[in-house]
Structure 1
Amino acid sequence: MSEIGSIVQDTAHSPPRWQISGDWTLGHYSHLQAELSRLGTLAPDQPLDFSLLGQLDTAGAALLGRWLGSERLTSLARQNPELTPERLALLHTVGEALQECPESPGAAHQSAAYEVLEEVGVTMTGLWDRGRALLGFIGLALESLARTLLQPRRWRVTSLVAHIEQTGLNAIPIIVLLTFMVGAVVAFLGATVLANFGATIYTVHLVAFSFLREFGVLLTAILMAGRTASAFTAQIGSMKANEEIDAIRVLGLNPMELLVLPRILAMMISLPILTFIAILSGILGGGVVSALMLDISPTLFLGILQSEVPVQHLFVGLAKAPFFAFIIAIIGCLEGFKSGGSAKSVGDHTTSAVVQSIFMVILLDALAAMFFMEMGW
């Protein structure tokens, strides 16, 4: 039967010593913690007697370690020969762990301004690390692409075609539906505003310019960021969690060539095609609204498009598509490789991939808009 541990001051010796007896185990943790709280801090010069110590586990060792302190633990072997080497090793190990683990985490109160600055610093450091990781992964992908292009036997044509189907062909319905409705909304809002100036006919120009230069490629890229980047992250993250990527390396294959390059090339092929389809669908939506509500016939609508809207605006919109596709695929694959072995990690990195992809697409679009404006294109 176990005996509850206790600490009693033995005054029969000179100087008085503390007698540690009974079992110091998890079952008596509350009682022992109360005893130590009542005794307070142990003086450095007070001797200890462990001759009556019963059972000892990590819970009891943690209590003794906090009460004795790290400096006293190092001198136990010299002052208390009755302790066995196993118990000394347990006390030393627990003492080292306690030095790295504060007794009351979060007890120190910090000012609100300090916490805000700390959070800003942590966020900026995280952004810097993500930027470096993204640039490094881009370099690795470009290096793998350059090395593989000159060796046709290493091309993954089957994987490329499968990803083109998943990222491009299967995305056509949602792209067409969304851009058609946005084109109709743009035409309706444009007509509402332009009617006040008697310039309803310029609704055609508004729809054409907006979709040729911006809306077609931007809406498509945002949809692909939410649909495809998340799929890339989830697929690669699941493979990493199942240790399939390690198996690929064991087989002597390169995960970049096998998993990343087909996805990047598929996106760079699919997104320009989807952008062209989105432009046609958006203009069609604007044409339907113009015909039904503005008395602009399809013949007049197409005539204005042909005679007054330069084709260079189409090229401007399509030129941005490969860059958007590349950054979306890179971020999706990178976040997949960064995910851990748990479902929560895969979910977190999937969310991060979508957010980062949409942010980078909008950032690149803004930079491209300023560049084309300065060039006069």
Structure 2
Amino acid sequence: MDTCLFSSVFRLLLTTILISRCTCSAELVVAESPSDIVVALGFPAVFHCSGQYNPHMESLYTIVEWKHNNVVITPGGRFHVFSNGTLDIKRTEIGDAGNYSCKLTIEDAYGVVRDTQTLPAAWLYFAFLDDIFYQPTNMTVVDLQSAPAYFQCITGDSLPLATISWEKDGVPLVDDQDNVVIYSSQFGDQNSLKVSGTLQINNVRSVHAGHYRCVVTNPYLPDHPARSWPATLTVGPNPGAPYVSLAPTSQVVAMGQAAIFPCVILGDPAPAITWLEEGAATNIVNSTEVQVLLNGSLRFSSVTQAQEGSYVCTGTSMLGTVSAPSVTLFSASMDWSFVIEPTDLDVLEGSPSTFFCRPPFSRPAANVTWYKDSLLYTPRTGAQILSK
């Protein structure tokens, strides 16, 4: 065959093959689109973007191009694009905020574009917390009033939404404890960035009096909470004859330690509070060993066995007298030496063995715990710890 004719036929055949390859249908299918994210400034941010071609052909390739605020991102430095299309931004800076869009392109081995899609942009927001929008205010209530006491707090704008907790005199409050109920909800419409929180105190008592703060925390900025100014809850006495607002409870106290029995008796006019040891002829008089404090509490400086007994708190005014139920002070002590200490045993395997232990004399009775090789011992099948 003529050389020129062969060359022409070969070029025609090659062109036909290329045209055939280039006209195959390839549809781009989006596998994952970028989504809006919120991060703390300085933390990494990640956007996902990937696609597939249908039908699958070995000679096709997916190319991902990212833009930030419509400017093409050149990978390098803090910006890295993984082979699956994911954009990773390390150590975000303030200028990184804005929209991020990805463009997916299918090309064949010859660089011919078969399909392309630009996906909707996603936004990078930085976490923030504005100043408190509404501060709790002072409140005055009456002891034992039927209506609850309320404090309200509304956060400033926060992204993501902030959480609200409460403190009393600097100590965190726990929901559903000591008649305290804490609840919160988004303030305003569904697009609002504020949260409203309420502290509700049911069955108000004088012990609830104090200074309250709401503490607002952005979950992405936990080390930078916002605290409201203190709001004071004043609890006045219920007018009339004396009544017990807070009764004391019995206590077991180690000998030599201090002990305090709180007793709150209120009324209007304010009653005088006295304490009496049952069986004694006169009320307790302040001394270095025992004192009736100005708030009505009974304090023992250093408990002794001789002070054991039952005590009664009484409030008296011109309108009457009332006493709280009697309480008991019990002094605890324990000797330093065991009555019987366990000793080493040599036994045949499979035969029974018993370690004897009698604890030191103790008031009240001591609890006995066993350890094996310095680890707390839990009896297994065939073993038991006897109480006597």
Q: Which category describes the TM-score, using the shorter chain as reference length?
A: under 0.3
Q: Which has the higher strand share?
A: 2
TM-score using structure 1 length? 0.19
Q: Which has the higher helix share?
A: 1
TM-score using structure 2 length? 0.18
Determine which structure has more spread, i.e. the larger CA radius of gyration. Answer: 2
